[in-house]
Amino acid sequence: MWSGMLAYAVYNYAYYLFGARLNAVFPLYVVLFVLAVLALVYLLARLDVGELAGHFSAHTPERIVAAYMGFTGVGLGVAWIAQWAAWVFGGVEPAVGEDAFALIAALDLTLVVPYFILGAAALWRRRPWGYVLGAVMCVKGLTYTLVLAMSSAVGAVRGIEGAAAQIPVWGAWTAVGLLAAALLLRGLQPIGGARAGD
């Protein structure tokens, strides 16, 4: 759970560090980003991945969660690459604008998409790292779409065209992400207890 929240922090602090206009709190963005990265690396390096995986119930629906992760990772990757291709080959401006696209697509395609896909593949095969990446990315995916749903709601209130139409999409995917996270994390047995079904 903590690793998922740290992954979310790394993504968000990277967004502010690399995307915000130069301002008085720039050094704070640097410090927060570095601390989040170091904390995530430290936490993951200390994990006994094999032991942790052994504490998931034998009844954990890994393949359902992996399907959510794979669909989310591939879907997000295709969405960004399609917008890039439409801009390069058709001159169609990305939905978020050219400047925002460069930052958000870069962050998603490097910090989100690969780990959703790799985690999905590992979890589908019930590999130890699949459980770790599954927990991290399910929490990240849930928070990611929740923020998009809330941003769409704020945009709708402010009268931004098309914002209201996005609320059901992001709201539904937040619910799916919550279900996937719950299904996976519900299977985690207390450390020190035997694996259910053994």
19 inside domain: no
Does the pLDDT value for residue 167 go beyond 60?
yes
What are the pLDDT digits (tens) for 120-151? Answer: 999 999 999 999 999 999 998 999 899 999 99
67 inside domain: yes
- Domain span at 174: 47-186
119 inside domain: yes
Please tell me whether the overall predicted TM-score, pTM, comes out greater than 0.95 for this model.
no
**Token digits of residue 76:** 């997000």
Which residue has better confidence, 197 or 59? 59
10 inside domain: no
Mean pLDDT of all residues in the chain?
90
Beta carbons within 10 angstroms of residue 137's beta carbon = 31
Q: What angle separates helix 128-157 from helix 113-124, to the nearest 10 degrees?
A: 140
Distance of alpha carbon 110 from alpha carbon 11, whole angstroms: 10
Whether the Cβ atoms of residue 83 and residue 101 lie closer than 8 Å to each other: yes
191 inside domain: no
- What contacts 124, CB < 8 A, 6 or more positions away? 62, 63, 66, 67, 70, 130
56 inside domain: yes
Number of structural domains the chain divides into: 1
Q: How far apart are the first and last CA of the chain?
A: 25
24 inside domain: no
Which residue has better confidence, 11 or 119? 119
133 inside domain: yes
